[in-house]
Amino acid sequence: MRTFALLKPEIVTYPSLCWQVLEKTLTAGLEVTRARKTTLTLAEAGKLYAAHKDKFFYERLIRHITSGPVIALELQTGDSTGGDPVARWRQLLGPTKVYRTAYESPNSLRGAFGLTDTRNVGHGSDSPQSVADESALFFDTLTPT
Ligand code: ATP
């Protein structure tokens, strides 16, 4: 079983932040099975965030996610830790709204590196269907489990 994660430009632009995020990811028992660095076009970003098209923050989100490089990751839980990688990555990320991290999860990635609700480190698929759909936007096919 795998999950799909995306690191946003405010992290990927800075190698030192990027390494710290990856180190925390590995320490949390998640293994990287695929990785791709790319810069999204407006059309690709529109597909990724299609569910938010009518939200007030949509334009801001699209502008940011296309403003620099992103890293797409396929993650799995390691043999020794097991468990659901979708839940593990979302727990590691922390709440979408960065102000909540102060009392909910200061040690999460968003607690450590989040700046705003738009610049909030990364994205994580929230279901097996979104893993398949979002992975397909960045990788040819999901590698078999
Ligand atoms: P993820 O980013 O992993 O999808 P999520 O499932 O908690 O986290 P979504 O609801 O899918 O977040 O929203 C996608 C992105 O849209 C968020 O990462 C965030 O940058 C932005 N976003 C969501 N809700 C808000 C909001 N109320 N205000 C501003 N930005 C928001």
CATH of 3-138, one of 3.40.50.300, 3.30.70.260, 3.30.465.10, 3.30.70.141: 3.30.70.141
Give the residues across from 37 on adjacent strands.
71
- Report the pLDDT value the prediction gives residue 144, as an integer from 0 to 100: 55
For residue range 85-110, what is the model confidence (pLDDT) as tens digits?
A: 999 999 999 999 999 999 999 999 99
- % the chain with pLDDT above 90: 92
Write down the domain spans for the chain. 3-138
Active site residue 123: yes
Q: Once rounded to an integer, what is the mean pLDDT over residues 50-71?
A: 98
What's the whole-model pTM score? Answer: 0.94
State the burial class of residue 61 (Cβ atoms within 10 Å of its Cβ: 0-12, 13-18, 19+).
Answer: middle
CA of 122 to the centre of ligand 1 (A): 9
**Set 123, 124, 131, 135: catalytic member:** 123
Q: How far apart are alpha carbons 80 and 122 in whole angstroms?
A: 25
